Chain A
Amino acid sequence: DTVMTQSPATLSVSPGERATLSCRASQSVSTTVAWYQQKPGQAPRLLIYGTSTRATGIPARFSGSGSGTEFTLTISSLQSEDFAVYYCQQYNNWPLAFGGGTKVEIK
């Protein structure tokens, strides 16, 4: 099974600053990686799919990159509504797998 490992577990960032979140796959997953945002009491929301394509309605400050086993989600200038937990997910191999999550908190 493919294991997705996210780092760091918690990221403290000031509003307006850049946030960089990492996700590593235990084996190659090509570019079949998605990123989700989850706020307390809400269902996850798809941000990025295919490593770098923003989902409908997602602001341009969210960007994704990577391939193979190393992936990154960048939030260029954090807004107050971006403080949340972010999960990566691979959909190249069954079973599908999420990373453990990165909590982005206000510094």
Chain B
Amino acid sequence: EVQLVQSGAELKKPGESLKISCKASGYYFNDYWIAWVRQMPGKGLEWMGIIYPGDSDTRYSPSFQGQVTISADKSITTAYLQWSSLKAPDTAIYYCARPRDSNIADAFDIWGQGTVVTVSS
């Protein structure tokens, strides 16, 4: 079964760093892009960026460029989303997602369960 399993909920203070994970299984990790999507409380879905684990090619949405870092570790089939200094507006649910086909330009049919990140002093 193709699956993306994300790390657990996080409660952090402003200014702290954080790295959340997305563990892939059931398919060849290197061949499919993985994207990250933000959903702020009560709001819609926003694309943050995407990574191709095969060669670590990474693209960021302009809104998130410089604000987060996306990475992947092929040896443990895991993608990451990290912040160096969190802010209260980073409070959201973060999803990882995989496209239907091994193509950056495709719909996303596999989703992680989401990681709730709360940033509060």
What residue in chain B is nearest A33 (Cβ atoms)?
B107
A56 to B104, CA, bound (A): 20
| B105 adjacent to A98 (CB under 8 Å) | no
Q: Are A98 and B45 in contact (CB under 8 A)?
A: yes
User: Which residues of the other chain, A, contact B111 by a CB distance below 8 angstroms?
Assistant: 43-45
Q: Flag whether B95 is at the interface (Cβ < 8 A).
A: yes
Is B107 a contact partner of A44 (Cβ separation < 8 A)? no
* A98 close to B44 (CB less than 8 A): yes
Interface of A is mostly: loop
- Interface status of B53 (Cβ within 8 A of chain A): no
Specify which chain B residues have a CB less than 8 angstroms from the CB of A101 in the assembled complex: 44-45
Q: Does B13 contact A (CB under 8 A)?
A: no
Chain B residues touching A, range: 20 to 34
Q: What is the minimal beta-carbon distance from A87 to any residue of chain B, in angstroms?
A: 6
A50 contacts across to B, CB distance below 8 A: 107
Please judge, given known A-B contacts A87-B44, A101-B44, whether A43 and B62 are in contact too, CB under 8 Å.
no
Chain A residue, CB-CB nearest to B48? A95
Interface size on A, residues (CB 8 A): 25
Beyond A43-B112, A43-B113, A98-B45, whether A91 also contacts B107 by CB under 8 A is: yes
Interface bits B15-43 vs A (CB < 8 Å: 1, else 0): 00000000000000000000101000000
Contacts of B47 in A (CB 8 A): 95-98
Interface residues of chain B, those whose CB is within 8 Å of chain A, are 35, 37, 44-47, 50, 59, 61-63, 95, 97, 100, 104-109, 111-114
